[in-house]
Amino acid sequence: MRDIIVSLIIVGLMPTCYKRPFVGLVVFSWLAYMRVQDLTWGFAKYQRWSYYIAILTCFGFVVSKERKRWFLPDPRCYLMLFLAAWIAVGVALSVQPSSYQFSRLMEFFKVIAIALFTTGVVTTRERLRVMLWVIALSFGFYGVKSGLWGILTFGAPILSGPGGMIADNNDFALAMAMSVPMLFHLGWTERKPELKRAFFVALPLSVMTVGLTQSRGGFLALSCGCAVLVWRSRNRFLGIAVAVVLGFAALFLAPDSYIERLKTIKDYQTEGSAAGRIRAWGIATRMAVDNPVFGVGLNKFRWHFLTYNPTPLRKEIDGTAIIVAHSSYFQIWAECGTPALLMFFILMFTSLWTCWRVRKKAKQRYMTSWILNYATMFEASLVTFMVGTAFINRAHFDLFYHWVALIIVFGYLADQEMENPDKYPLRDGGRSELQQLRPRGFERRPRVSAFLPRGV
């Protein structure tokens, strides 16, 4: 029955996806992040729904009469294209290219294509809001589901995610940690009390879900993301106090097994998993030094592992060990070369710069709460990724490139609104929508001339 319901919903949305490409992008994102097909057990689970939606959306976009723009003319869009081309050349030049490499390359092309298409289709603040809602609520669904399951089972660990890009428990922890700033700020800016309460119910359960994965990288990522939220709060000292109280409460309620696992972070030199990561980083460095331009090739780390490992373990020789770089930074450096790593860093730090620049500009102009809140949300989620991805192989994480695209759109829309406030509707006695939404603490201070008689 569940397969039939899911299939009917997706098939029923297909005509709308064709007629309205933005709806197609929303449905595609819903399938990618909520993984609704993985909630079924029969024929619907194995259908390529995302592929069908993508094809219909692209055809609909091509034949639509509305003004078309495949992507914004932002340097980061061209950089993502160049990164994809660079990795493709690296695959072609790698030793004994395999069909699996090309399949992974095509997956990466799809990730970049969706990110670029997002910058072309998300053209209004309302569309940006809808996209953020879809992503946040998709992860929030699993936060509520997994959090309640953890409560009912008294903290039983989550060993795997729903599927797709979040199938591994570490990947799932990273995605859920990135969703926490989304849920917080979307709930904070929501005006309807019912929806606001829904967001703030999903928020603690999502935090609990990160803990249930027992991912140490997820814990560090979440901690850094929350630190950004506290630092950007209007009352920083109160935020720090609340964070400390909640942190101690979380540690008190956490299972002993999770606490013991977190304690191993400080014993990184002797703890097996952490020591293995450091060892893998050294091997990845040797690969990158020997192949500085294009690397050893996408997904070729395991193939070259024994060549660059002077003291292999028995389980690595017989093939029973899981051989990965254990870090997105070392992964992309070893497999795709130093230029690819630099491009990866540029995408991160220029996106952070957009958040900082827009926030500064909004504060100087005493602008709206939505710009300030969104800037903090994007910054916190991006910092969460930057920390979490240091410990797992997610250089080609779908959500990261999609997030960069949404930050590009956010910067473009925020600049438009701040530079042309007269284009937006006036309400409340002539105050613009921007002024109406201005948070407390950012009201425009009266000029001295306002207190002087006319003509002075």
pLDDT tens across 378-401, in order? Answer: 999 999 999 999 988 888 888 999
Domains contained in the chain, number:
1
Q: Is residue 438 part of a domain?
A: yes
Task: Calculate mean pLDDT across residues 134-160.
Answer: 88
Instruction: Say whether pLDDT at 430 is over 60.
Output: no
Q: Is position 250 within any domain? A: no
The region of weakest confidence among 237-246, 255-264, 325-334 is 255-264
Q: Are 90 and 337 in contact (CB under 8 A)?
A: yes
Q: Is residue 255 part of a domain?
A: no
Q: Is 431 within the bounds of a domain?
A: yes
From 145, 48, 70, 82, select the one nearest 114 (Cα to Cα): 70
Q: How far apart are the first and last CA of the chain?
A: 77
Report which residue type is found at 387. V
Report the run of H or E that residue 231 belongs to, with start and end: helix 216-231
3-class SS at 431? strand
Axis-axis angle for helices 338-364, 75-93 (nearest 10): 170
Beta bridge mates, 427: 431
Stretch (H or E) spanning 427? strand 426-427
Of 118, 211, 205, 146, which is closest to residue 405 (Cα–Cα)? 118
pTM score, whole prediction = 0.87
Range of the domain at 430: 421-451
Q: How confident is the model at residue 451 (pLDDT cuts 50, 70, 90)?
A: very low
> Is 321 within a domain?
no
Mean pLDDT across the chain: 83
Q: Taking phi first (over 0 means left), then psi (-120 to 50 degrees means alpha), and beta for anything else, what does residue 358 get?
A: alpha
Tally the residues of the chain: 456
Instruction: Tell me how far apart the alpha carbons of residues 385 and 204 are, in angstroms, rounded to a whole number.
Output: 19
pLDDT higher than threshold 80 for residue 369: no
Q: Does residue 428 sit within a domain?
A: yes
Q: What is the pLDDT of residue 265?
A: 63
Q: How many angstroms separate the CA atoms of 204 and 275, rounded?
A: 32
In whole angstroms, what is the distance from residue 12 CA to residue 101 CA?
35
Q: Is residue 140 part of a domain?
A: no
Closest by CA to 287, choosing from 247, 328, 330, 318, is: 330
3-state class (DSSP) for residue 432? strand
- Report yes or no on 440 lying in a domain: yes
